[in-house]
Amino acid sequence: MNLKQWEKITEWPLTVLSVLFIGVYAWQILAEPTGVWNWSAEFVMNVMWAVFALDYVVSIALAPQKWEWFKHHLFDLAVVVLPVIRPLRVLRIISALNALHKTSGMALRGKIVMYVASSLIILLFVGSLAVLDAERYAPGASVKTFGDALWWTFVTITTVGYGDYTPVTAMGRVIAYALMLAGIGLIGTVTATLASWIVDEVNDDEAKETKITREQVERLNTRLDIIERKLDRINGSRITSDDVANRR
């Protein structure tokens, strides 16, 4: 079996597993199970994590140029290794986003709008879970419920930044750094997509006047065709473009 086949087989199972992983993670944080339940959640997540690690190992083993594959999949390595740190487990969801790549029939701007919308929803959800997990029981913390965590995440990602809730732990701040950068990216992508759309709409009318199309060039060729035929009638013989190309 080669790498392509392995990727094709494992793609959907791994996406489903990522979503399940986040489901268990969310349940563990929001329901705060104790005793055997908590232990079960931990166990299930560890098993899932082992599956992800296994996929990474098998993939690199199947890759023909292992060093090349390693260099181009540093991000996958991070997604496998970083979840050892508990609040970074949410990074697993990024694998789920890959499923969106399958929307190949859409126009680019439609794809971007879908990507931004789904990334925003996922970021808001997992960002809130992560910050709640990191902050909840820290002394002096302001983020103590999922409602507060969602509010803080939204306020951060849109760069509004009221400051009524702010993280106090080192992990909470790391999550904030990621969300702020995501916010810059969000504003940038929204603006850029709008700009591209407006530039296109405005140029459309103008383009009709100034850009000459292949059709117009075709008309010039037809004219030359007529002239050649007339010359052939005089000459009685024909020199083809192949002849010209050969003689060069």
Binding to its own copies in span 194-213, by CB under 8 A: 194-203, 207, 209-213
Q: Which long-range contacts (CB under 8 A, 24 or more apart) does 8-15 make?
A: 10/55, 11/98, 11/99, 12/99, 14/51, 14/52, 14/55, 14/95, 15/95, 15/96, 15/98, 15/99
Return the residues of window 32-71 that contact its own copies according to CB under 8 A.
none
Stretches 23-31, 38-46, 86-94, 192-200: which one binds its own copies (CB under 8 A)? 192-200
190 sits near its own copies (criterion: CB under 8 A): yes
CB of 18 to its own copies, least distance (A): 26
Task: Identify the DSSP state of 100.
Answer: G
72 sits near its own copies (criterion: CB under 8 A): no
What lies within 8 Å, CB to CB, of 211 at 6+ separation is: none
For its own copies, the binding residue among 50, 85, 106, 231 (CB under 8 A) is: 231
227 sits near its own copies (criterion: CB under 8 A): yes
Token digits for 187? 């504003």
4 sits near its own copies (criterion: CB under 8 A): no
Return the residues of window 147-186 that contact its own copies according to CB under 8 A.
147, 151, 154-156, 158-164, 166, 170, 173, 176-177, 180-181, 183-186
Which of 62/168 has CB closer to its own copies?
Answer: 168
Which of 4/214 has CB closer to its own copies?
Answer: 214
